[in-house]
Amino acid sequence: MTRHFNFCAGPAALPTAVLERARDELLDYQGRGLSVMEMSHRSEAFVAIAETAERDLRDLLAIPDNYRVLFLQGGASMQFAMLPYNLLGQGGTPNYLYTGIWGKKAIAEARHLVGAHIAAESDQGLTTVPRQAEIALSEDAAYLHYTSNETIGGLAFDYVPEAPVPVVCDMSSSILSEPLDVSKFGVIYAGAQKNIGPAGLTLAIVRDDLLDRALPQTPSMFNYRLMAENGSMYNTPPSYAWYLAGLVFQWLKRDVGGLEAMAEINARKAAKLYGAIDASDFYSNPIAERNRSRMNVPFVLADDALNGAFLAEAEAAGLLNLKGHRSVGGMRASLYNAVPEAAVDTLVAFMADFEKRRG
């Protein structure tokens, strides 16, 4: 069996150690004679898995006691709708910072329900994020939402926006990549399929005082309070994805050494790739340096006619999923936690060789 280097934006690479443990426990979990995916979510064994996963996540992020951790379904895209349902029960208008495609989708979903105010937005080319001084909330702002890292455009916030209302953040592609001060946020949410685990699971970290602000018409499955009171098991949860996420949390704590160590690794990976791009006249990245994402690095070739050859040769070299999103084209290397430093070294060497032969 050969494992290649996977730069997919999501579903993304998982740590090899996690996959190996899941393989070993697949048919018989800890001598119980069945797989986790066959186990009742109400069973003592699975409740222990769920509780351990939450405890490890709380340790990693130093989550304060006055926050609930919810293990949900529907992806971050469902959170686009769940947020206004859960946070507008006291009135007001949701406010958004627009910095890319995922922020745009969140805004559109809010407008389906109540409308939205854009408090600030990126430049026309989406190459920088708005600064704190540019944020202009509506007078009736209920919350301020932003996307910490735009996966498609590779645009990342270099600060946490401040506001006199709850700050809500989509951290789908940045969570667990570095230490985080959870207390600065009212709600943090993230689809799992980048740094948490497999697709099918979504995390929401919700401050206690925001659990009772839901609109009366909020569907039961959307209600944060109801999910919190039922331990994220109001219905059958994505149990196997929850289990795998728990293994990822253990890997981060025990194998990596926590989020400070993970941040150092991620910084080195990104610096190597951006360094190779900046040193070349053949490759380029349009994002302002202070807002360059460490997780998603888009780049283009000087000649688009070579894109097909680049991707074909990269795949033959064991470098997978480097094609940019269809909306922007070019290339994109996603450097999530589970992508090893060796993968970046191999990619940088390949890029240099391709430029030498084709540039």
Question: What residues are annotated to the active site?
Answer: 102, 170, 194
Question: And the tokens for 120?
Answer: 């600030």
Q: What are phi and psi of 348, to 5 degrees?
A: -60, -40
DSSP-assigned letter for residue 132 = G
What CA–CA distance (Å, rounded) separates 92 from 74?
Answer: 26
Can you give the length of the chain in residues? 359
What CA–CA distance (Å, rounded) separates 316 from 295?
Answer: 24
Task: Please state the residue numbers annotated as binding site.
Answer: 42, 76-77, 102, 151, 170, 193, 235-236
Question: And the tokens for 125?
Answer: 């080319």
The number of helix segments (H) and strand segments (E) in the chain equals: 9, 14
Beta carbons of 174 and 185 less than 8 angstroms apart: no
DSSP-assigned letter for residue 102 = H
Question: Quick one: CA dihedral 294, 295, 297, 298, positive or negative?
Answer: negative
Q: What are phi and psi of 56, to 5 degrees?
A: -65, -40
What CA–CA distance (Å, rounded) separates 129 from 289?
Answer: 11
What CA–CA distance (Å, rounded) separates 274 from 287?
Answer: 11
Task: Please state the residue numbers annotated as binding site for L-glutamate.
Answer: 42
Task: Please state the residue numbers annotated as binding site for pyridoxal 5'-phosphate.
Answer: 76-77, 102, 151, 170, 193, 235-236
| Of residues 80, 39, 49, 315, the one with CA closest to residue 197 | 49
Instruction: For residue 189, give the 3-state DSSP assignment.
Output: strand
Q: Which residue has the tokens 């990822």?
A: 248
